[in-house]
Amino acid sequence: MRLDLAGKAVLVTGAASGIGLACVRAFQAEGARVAALDLAPVDDVVAVQADVTDERSVAAAVGVVAERFGGLDVVVGCAGISGPVGTGAAETSAAEFAAVLAVNVTGQFLVVKHAAPWLTASQGSVVLLASDSAFTSAPGMVPYCASKGAVVAMTRALAVDLPGVRVNCVCPSVVDTPMSRGDLGDVLDDPAFPVQAPEDVASHVLYLASARSRTVNGQAVLADYGVSARSGFPA
């Protein structure tokens, strides 16, 4: 399938690691012009260092990229944190809860807010990283699940709020990245545990960013090997 992304101006947040970095490399392979926004620098690409929770920094970073490219066609929001995974709700502080929402929800909002004028001009598209954690949970994941449920709802609201701009999100199950390694460790190496690669997610992101998905808007694409489709019925 031809994605026709060559020459498109793409901004990826959370681009220094994991899924964001895989998206950067996949867009580059399609010939897109890619900018990477992260706390950390990224090599071989237009890199802007910013904290997505800081509105001034986000506004400045998005402005620098849009001016450099003469516009923006695609924004991919990957910046995210997992927070106190493994800590029960009773032991989770308000500050820990707020910190997760600040990056995973407010951070996504701020990037789209400041890219919106450019995306409206180009009739562009946004792809946000939500998670299967918007729909399912394990013990000790309350802040993260709350944040990802909010990303799914915000995706629908943004799709309605930004005429001409398509906004979708992807909801992968566990992906082998520094984030999941830090939270789950060697469980990821168990062949019985279905883990996906960052490149699997990048494929979905590129499809949703491209005109091949022009009729898809306000949707959450759940990619979990079908695990959540299975009933608890003992059969």
Ligand X SMILES: NC(=O)c1ccc[n+]([C@@H]2O[C@H](COP(=O)([O-])OP(=O)(O)OC[C@H]3O[C@@H](n4cnc5c(N)ncnc54)[C@H](O)[C@@H]3O)[C@@H](O)[C@H]2O)c1
Burial label for 64, CB within 10 Å (0-12, 13-18, 19+), is: middle
Rounded to the nearest 5 degrees, what angle is found at the Cα of 48, between the Cα atoms of 206 and 73?
A: 35
The nearer residue to ligand X, 6 or 98, going by C-beta atoms, is 98
Sketch the per residue contact string, 2 through 31, with ligand X: x for CB under 6 A, - otherwise: ------------x-xxxxx-----------
Q: Which stretch binds ligand X (CB under 6 A): 79-87, 90-98, 154-162, 210-218?
A: 79-87
Work out the number of other CB atoms within 10 angstroms of the CB of residue 1.
7
Q: Cβ distance 10 to 21 under 8 Å?
A: no
Q: Which of residues 202-221 bind ligand X (CB under 6 A)?
A: none
Alpha-carbon gap, residue 100 to 80, rounded angstroms: 8
What is the torsional sign of CA 24, 27, 28, 33? negative
Min dist CB 178 to ligand X, Å, is 4
Q: Which of residues 102-141 bind ligand X (CB under 6 A)?
A: 103, 107, 129, 131
Q: Which stretch binds ligand X (CB under 6 A): 78-86, 87-95, 117-125, 202-210?
A: 78-86
Alpha-carbon gap, residue 148 to 80, rounded angstroms: 10
Alpha-carbon gap, residue 139 to 87, rounded angstroms: 8
Residue 225 annotated as catalytic: no
Active-site choice (27, 69, 97, 144): 144
R_g (Cα) of the chain, nearest Å: 17
Q: Is 177 in the site for ligand X (CB under 6 A)?
A: yes
The nearer residue to ligand X, 107 or 149, going by C-beta atoms, is 107
From the list 168, 180, 213, 219, which residue makes contact with ligand X (rule: CB under 6 A)? Answer: 180
Residues that bind ligand X (CB under 6 A): 14, 16-20, 38-40, 51-53, 78-81, 103, 107, 129, 131, 172, 174-175, 177-180
